[in-house]
Amino acid sequence: MYVSMKEMLQKANEEKYAVLAINCFNLETAKAVIEAAEEMHSPIIVDLLQDHLKEHLDHRYLTQPIIRMANNAKVEVAINLDHGQDVAFVKQCLHEGFSSVMMDASMYPLEENIRITRTIVELAQVYNASVEAEVGDMGAVAGDHFTNDEMYTDPDDAIRFIQETGVDCLALSYGSSHGNYPEGYVPEFRFDIVKKIKAATNLPLVLHGGSGAGKENILKSIELGINKINVGSDFMKGQLEDVREQLANNLDVDYPTLIHHTMAAGKEVVKQYIELSGSKNKSL
């Protein structure tokens, strides 16, 4: 069932759970994610990062096969462009058949972010697609550029942004960072940011950098109104660890077997996060 994020996130909002968005970059990772969702009877979002599509495999070769997978799936599947920062590229992805796009103009001043996002919201309506955006500026673990206080979302800016753009969901910066955290590190979340924006708008809100954010942080986020959780690093980390284990046990393993085994490892990570997000058995 190929759908946009709009309906699945509205349902999650009403029933107070979150839908997972898993970063994929090829057919194998997308297949693993969709199969995990089917086994858990959960809606799922296949996130395709703009940088991956530009550097790894062009969206023109990747999108249509994943759409076919989604149409044949037993659960609702959305394909979302993650962190689309190039306006022309975002438009191409809508034309190519993405059911959802993230227009990430968060690096611009608020007025410009609103202007750019509103044009994409208007265009997406033509394609019956949903739009995610971001207010705030999340950091990344790489280079120790963790999210700091200056990067947090200003709730008043976010409320205005939602009212003036008509986005279907909004990503917030309230403590998480992109990437793999150091061993034992758990970020501190500013839950007051989520609470204020949710109370004023009741819009589905998004947590980016869900990997390693910590069980309690995730559960509290969902309780306060987060309805979409992005997970990429833990999904890929699970597969990478499986590669290491396979090669440690058998350096002569054939490549198809290696890849197939990593898909199974990735599925287990996705299923664990589905359980945590509360979306198990939430498919229509």
**Can you read off the two tokens belonging to residue 8?**
């699945």
User: Are the CB atoms for 29 and 53 separated by under 8 Å?
Assistant: no
| Alpha carbon distance 204, 100 (integer Å) | 14
Nearest to 158 by CA among 133, 175, 129: 133
Catalytic residue status for 82: yes
Q: Strand runs (DSSP E) across the chain, as ranges?
A: 19-24, 44-49, 77-84, 100-103, 130-135, 169-172, 205-207, 226-231
**Can you read off the two tokens belonging to residue 182?**
């150091």
Q: 171 in helix, strand or coil?
A: strand
* Residue 129, burial from CB neighbour count under 10 angstroms (0-12, 13-18, 19+): buried
Task: Exactly one of 47, 51, 82, 234 is catalytic; name it.
Answer: 82
Which sequence positions are flagged as catalytic?
82
